[in-house]
Amino acid sequence: MRIVLVGPPGAGKGTQAAFLAKNLSIPHISTGDLFRANISQGTELGKQAKAYMDAGNLVPDEVTIGMAKDRMEQPDAERGFLLDGFPRNVAQAEALDAMLEAEGMQLDAVLDLEVPEDEVVKRIAGRRICRNDSAHVFHVTYSKPKTEGVCDICGGELYQREDDSEETVRKRLEVYHTQTEPIIDHYKGQGLVVTISALGKVSDVTERAMEALRGER
């Protein structure tokens, strides 16, 4: 399956993507994670992306589209993929449409995670991520690690993302409403959008998502 996951910052895209990708046996491709990996490795791409991310702005399309395309061309993505954080504006959605069309491929669904803004703010404020693997995501109250500051999965150190400050989160939400939400209408035009509530237990949201995707297969 080829799926796009969309939703505001902190909706739980990364959290859900980890479970959905496993259930569906497809790779989880997160442009945010790819940028963060480049930053921690000190690559040129990471240097270009960092200032935009720290300010809560989108990294320019010239950089982002090429990086996403390279990742989607890896052998493990031949059987499908779950895109998390890409596309993030209409130009990126159009670039993805063209990429898929050139390969004779199509998206199966765009899964839209709906969460009220006050909940998103609470989720981001308490989020802690593992230094070893950004798929290891915790929350100081909702999904507490057994030992404070330590990853339950691998023992790595947990940290708070630099762009999770209150001011940057406000900016990211504004960017989501103005630039990312329009892609939902773009994909509604293709009949691909399934919207689910992302409130409630993580496992309940996964079940809701799997149910919604089953209808799309």
Q: Which does 168 bind (CB under 5 to 8 A by kind): ligand AP5, Zn ion, none?
A: none
> What is the spatial distance between Cα 57 and Cα 35, in angstroms, rounded to a whole number?
13
Q: Is 79 a catalytic residue?
A: no
Is there a catalytic annotation at residue 22?
Answer: no
Query: Judged by CB under 5 A, does residue 137 bind Zn ion?
Result: no
- In this structure, are strands 193-197 and 158-159 parallel, antiparallel, or unpaired? unpaired
E-strand spans in the chain? 2-6, 28-30, 81-84, 109-114, 127-130, 137-139, 158-159, 193-197
Residue choice 6, 26, 32, 213 for contact with ligand AP5 (CB under 6 A): 32
2 carries an active-site annotation: no
Residue 145 near Zn ion by CB under 5 A: no
Least distance between Zn ion and beta carbon 113 (Å): 23
Contact between 192 and ligand AP5 per CB under 6 A? no
From residue 192, alpha-carbon distances to 51, 93, 110, 112, 199 in Å are: 33, 13, 6, 10, 22
Round to whole Å and give the CA distance between 182 and 64.
18
Q: What are phi and psi of 5, to 5 degrees?
A: -105, 125
The residues pairing with 159 across neighbouring beta strands, listed in sequence order, are 129
81 binds, among ligand AP5, Zn ion, none (CB under 5 to 8 A by kind): none
Please choose, out of 114-122, 124-132, 178-186, 200-208, the segment that lies near Zn ion by the rule CB under 5 A: 124-132
Say whether residue 137 binds ligand AP5 (CB under 6 A).
yes
161 is catalytic: yes
Is residue 201 annotated as a catalytic residue, yes or no? Answer: no
CB 136 within 8 A of CB 130: yes
Query: Which residues are part of the catalytic machinery?
Result: 13, 88, 127, 161, 172
Binding site for ligand AP5 (CB under 6 A): 7, 9-15, 31-32, 35, 52-53, 56-59, 64, 85-86, 88, 92, 123, 126-127, 137-139, 142-143, 163, 172, 202, 205
